[in-house]
Structure 1
Amino acid sequence: MKLCVLAVGHRQPAWVSESCAEYKKRMPRELPLGIVEIKPEPRGAKSREQLLAAEKLRIREALSGGCRIVVLDEKGDDLTTLQLARRLEAWMRDGRDVALLIGGADGLDEEFKQQADDRLRLSSLTLPHGLARLLLCEQLYRAVSVLKNHPYHREG
């Protein structure tokens, strides 16, 4: 099984790219993590719906067939790290690759949200795009660490 973060947005600050690369490197061989940047639609005079529709097409092109789709959404499941680890364990039992979608400035198309296999919420706070990407990579690494029985400082 593979994990892939598909994130609308490009040209992240070096600290975001370097930090995400470090977490990718730490992931076990049997659960590799990829990050695919999706080019945002130029704003111009387009409506929000037009922007989201164009980005939806780009995301669809980047998705591998048959994968589990997990959208990051402010109304998604608010999980603790241990709960994320259990969710990851269930995804691993399912065996399908997992695509975790991070929308751009206008979010994600409503169709993705409705058709997603899972919806996750990273925080009640509004996070900058790069920080959300980094936080997701770190939490996926931490969830894997929990599943491999590495000590977790909040246990007990």
Structure 2
Amino acid sequence: MKTIFQFVILATIAISCVQKTEENSTKKTSLPIVGTWKLITGTTIEKGDTVVAYYNKNVSFVKIINDTHFAFLNHDLKKGKDYSVMYSSGGGTYSLSDSLYTEHLEYCSDREWEGNDFKFTIAIKDDTLIQTGVEKVESAGINRLNIEKYVRLKK
């Protein structure tokens, strides 16, 4: 009887160890791009003109990225009470292969941008993400190089 009891205990321990190992092996490792990112600067170059926008006191822009989707939110910080009134948002799916990050914009407050794919090269160092690529939206007459610098927001 004592031997059967010991066998049952050992079998229970062995099964629980196997279940934990299976649970751990099915967990997906998060990609380094996953998180919430605050845009610090945005540089656009179009037809020889360069515009640098600083996102600090007047405007806030965040990009939220999970394992399969992204979303961005952009608005003025004066609550619409001065000349800088603005709001935009969008989101969709993305793919990431090494440093090639491609967004498929499914939703956007500027509807002409919907349904377009945007290919970027990304570099992540510590808490900084730099995203560089061409934004082309023929229906809106847009064809520009876009360079964005983000910092990761802490939890």
User: Do they superpose with TM above 0.5?
Assistant: no
What is the TM-score of this pair, normalised by structure 2? Answer: 0.27
Q: Which of the pair has more CA radius of gyration?
A: 2
Q: Return the structure number with greater relative CO, CA threshold 8 A, min gap 6.
A: 1
Please identify which structure carries the higher helix content: 1
What is the TM-score of this pair, normalised by structure 1? Answer: 0.27
Please identify which structure carries the higher strand content: 2
